[in-house]
A = this chain, B = another copy of it.
Amino acid sequence: MKPFHRLISFNEAKKIIMENTKEMERVEKVNILNAVSRVLAENIVAPFDVPGFKRASMDGYAVMAKDTYNASLQNPKKLKVVGKIFAGEKAKIEIKEGECIQIATGAPLPKNADAVVIVEDTSKEGDYVNIYKPVYPGANVSLPDSDVKKGELILKKGELLTPPKIGVLASLGIEKVKVYEKPKVKIFPTGKEIVKLGEELDYGKIYDINSYTLATLLINEGAKPIINDIVEDDEEAIEEAIGRAIDADYIIFSGGSSIGEKDLLAKVIKKKGELLFHGIAVKPGKPTICGKIDSTLIFGMPGYPTSCLTNAYVLLLPSIKKMARLPFEIKKVKAKLAQNILSTIGRYQIYPVKVENGIAYPVFKESGAITSLSKANGYIEIPAEVEYLEEGMEVIVTLF
């Protein structure tokens, strides 16, 4: 129960975490339906042209363009219709001068045809069709490589797979694709006061909140969390838990609100690897620990639900996004502060607010309260040297 010493600044903590975060190298092959919102781990070079054949891009008549050059509304050109071709059909017939073939969008152009006159510019007359407008060669025709060119580097390693990019893969007949694995995060609740969901809540105990807020945040943001059993507040148990979870990319201890086990965690980290920092001058979230054992990042998160989750938003998330190679978009909006806020000099403060119609309402109850965050949709940052924010002033809100 010692107080913290040598707190580092919030920005230093962020920097240290990011410097120690490596981009994911492990890949897995998944079906393209499961690849959406994942990051491509291979270059995709088109194995063939798409669509792969010359096709009509409109419904109409496949013609030799030169047959239409003199056509006008007053003097339509009359062409003989020698067949019909639908999409998906092979052109079994060809056209000769003065002839045309009725053609549907997407159907392959018959031999000798080099243009399509759209149906709106024609009128049928028995076995003939009147052409009212001239077309140039290539009009209303898609070339074989008009969408994708064979040999083209069509999707690059590191690209985020959006629905249209999944469409590009489908167009090339690719069913499975290599993506980077999601960062694996093992969460260990700690603290004697923490009770697992489903168990009886005795006096002096509280349910495990942080495992669930952390896990669902991580699920939402592209990581793969695993919640483990509660770890006893002793060195051996912590060491054993780390040993068991060292294959993960991140190990997060959270839940205990005493700083007792935080010292234990720091001790184990020092013994097994490198303690990167212990304590940040940020409110809430002072007791945050970060270390590295082998290539696994170890976090000791503050036990209080709001502290734990805000720290996860501001410190853990940028690291997860970097490792996952996912874009990290920080959305900021300007808002007017609904009421005065008193801050603590010397500590950078992350203050949850609810923004509605351009007004930022402080929703902070206390670090222990999960309900404060559940009403917030963002936070404001109050620098260490600021003591007081005034009602009505403009603040910048980072949205969750």
Query: Which residues of A are in contact with B by a Cβ distance under 8 Å?
Result: 1-3, 32-33, 35-37, 48, 50-53, 55, 57, 59, 86-91, 102, 104-108, 119-120, 142, 146-148, 154-155, 162-175, 191-194, 197-198, 201-217, 219-220, 227, 256-260, 303-305, 309, 365-371, 373-374, 376, 400
Chain B residues near A57 (CB-CB < 8 A): 366-368
Q: Which residue of B lies closest to A159 (CB)?
A: B374
**A175–B198 touching, CB < 8 Å:** yes
What's the least CB distance linking A43 to chain B, in Å? 15
Contacts of A106 in B (CB 8 A): 191, 193, 206, 256-258, 303-304, 368
Would you call B166 and A213 a contact (CB within 8 A)? yes
Bound-state Cα–Cα, A212 to B203, Å: 53
Q: Do A51 and B86 touch (CB < 8 A)?
A: no
Instruction: Tell me whether A193 and B102 are in contact (CB under 8 A).
Output: no
The 9 closest A-B pairs by CB, nearest first: A88-B192, A106-B257, A88-B193, A36-B216, A164-B373, A167-B213, A87-B193, A104-B258, A164-B374
Assess A369 versus B400: contact at CB under 8 Å? Given A3-B119, A216-B36, A309-B167. no
Q: Nearest Cβ distance between residue A337 and chain B, in whole angstroms?
A: 21
List B contacts of A55 (CB < 8 A).
204, 368
Q: Say yes or no: B365 contacts A171, CB within 8 Å.
A: no
Contact between chains at B88 and A205 (CB < 8 Å): yes
A87, A203, A309 — most chain B CB neighbours (10 Å): A87
B368 adjacent to A303 (CB under 8 Å)? no
Cα A257 to Cα B103 in complex, Å, equals: 12
User: For the complex, what is the distance from the CA of A208 to the CA of B367, rounded to whole Å?
Assistant: 52
Residues of chain B with a CB closer than 8 A to A167's CB: 209-210, 212-213, 305, 309, 370, 373-374
Which B residues lie within 8 Å of A193 (CB)?
A: 87-88, 106-107
Q: Which of B87, B120, B192, B197 contacts A170 (CB 8 A)?
A: B197
Known: A105-B259, A212-B33. A51 touches B164 (CB 8 A): no
Complex Cα distance A32/B374, Å?
A: 15
Residues of B close to A175: CB separation below 8 A:
197-198
Q: Are A260 and B371 in contact (CB under 8 A)?
A: no
Chain B residue with the shortest CB-CB distance to A302: B105
Query: Assuming A59-B1, A172-B207, is B104 touching A164 (CB within 8 A)?
Result: no
**From B59, B213, B303, contact of A259 by CB (8 A):** B59
Q: Which of B146, B209, B366, B400 has a CB less than 8 Å from the CB of A171? A: B209
- Minimal Cβ-Cβ distance residue in B for A152: B371
* Closest-CB distance, A93 to chain B (whole angstroms): 14
Partner of A212, one of B32, B88, B215, B367: B32
Q: Which of the residues B48, B119, B203, B220 comes within 8 Å of A90, measured between beta carbons?
A: B203
Report yes or no: B220 in contact with A168, Cβ–Cβ below 8 A.
Answer: no
Most B CB atoms within 10 A — which of A91, A102, A148, A368? A368
Given A162-B374, A164-B309, 5 further pairs, Cβ under 8 A: A87-B193, A154-B371, A167-B370, A172-B207, A175-B198
